[in-house]
């Protein structure tokens, strides 16, 4: 009787080990998700930007996968794949901004312009889809000298990105 119980226990242990192996295999295949959404740091104001000056969005709303660095303002691709990026820039009346999304500081992938001489603040936004290799870095920078105005510190100014498909 003891050997019968021991035999059943060994069989159940073997089945349990098989389930754990399958679970580990499935977990390795599941994409953990890479996505971030940020705003300009609510305690900072940007009045002017010089051409190529990096814009650091220090207020992190979400950062799944921890690929966005809030101190440097740089997103580093943790894996090769297709990524989507969106950003919105807000300026005051009679102010302007031209903002570029760049990878590794040498390729410009998109531009957003906000500015007017009207009686209302303006927004400029864009969405771009990019193929990135693992380790490539993406950030926003001024496309020219810009006069933005104090409102660039509020939630209208956002930068988001996410993995669409990994390779």
Query: Does residue 40 sit in the same domain as residue 95?
Result: yes
Q: How confident is the model at residue 150 (pLDDT cuts 50, 70, 90)?
A: low
Query: Does residue 8 sit in the same domain as residue 60?
Result: no
Highest mean pLDDT, choosing among 19-33, 103-117, 130-144, 150-164: 130-144
CATH number for 108: 2.60.120.40
Query: For the chain, how many structural domains are there in total?
Result: 2
Q: How far apart are CA 113 and CA 152, in angstroms?
A: 13
Burial class (CB in 10 A: 0-12, 13-18, 19+), 21: exposed
The pair phi, psi for residue 153, each rounded to 5°, is -90, -5
**Is 107 a residue whose pLDDT tops 60?**
yes
Structural domain that includes position 38: 32-166
Q: Which residues pair with 97 in a beta bridge?
A: 114
Average pLDDT, the chain: 78
**Is 26 a residue whose pLDDT tops 70?**
no
Query: Does residue 84 sit in the same domain as residue 13?
Result: no
Query: Does residue 24 sit in the same domain as residue 41?
Result: no
Q: Which of 2-16, 17-31, 33-47, 142-156 has the lowest mean pLDDT?
A: 17-31
Query: Does residue 10 sit in the same domain as residue 42?
Result: no
Query: Does residue 1 sit in the same domain as residue 73?
Result: no
| Tokens coding 72 | 């440097």
**Is 143 a residue whose pLDDT tops 70?**
yes
pTM of the model: 0.74
pLDDT at 62 (0 to 100): 94
155 to 41, 59, 97, 102, 123: CA distances (angstroms): 9, 9, 16, 22, 12
């Amino acid at each position: 009787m003891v050997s019968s119980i021991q035999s059943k226990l060994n069989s159940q242990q073997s089945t349990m080990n098989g389930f754990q192996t399958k679970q580990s295999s499935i977990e390795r295949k599941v994409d953990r998700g890479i996505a971030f959404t940020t705003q300009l740091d609510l305690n900072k104001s940007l009045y002017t930007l010089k051409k190529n000056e990096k814009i650091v969005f220090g207020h992190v709303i979400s950062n799944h996968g921890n690929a966005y660095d809030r101190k440097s303002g740089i997103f580093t691709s943790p894996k090769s794949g297709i990524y989507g990026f969106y950003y919105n820039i807000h300026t005051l009346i009679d102010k302007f901004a031209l903002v570029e999304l760049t990878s590794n500081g040498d390729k410009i992938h998109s531009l957003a312009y906000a500015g007017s001489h009207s009686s209302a603040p303006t927004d400029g936004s864009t969405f771009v889809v990019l193929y990135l290799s693992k380790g490539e870095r993406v950030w926003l920078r001024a496309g020219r000298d810009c006069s933005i105005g104090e409102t660039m510190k509020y939630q209208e100014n956002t930068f988001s990105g996410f993995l669409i498909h990994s390779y």
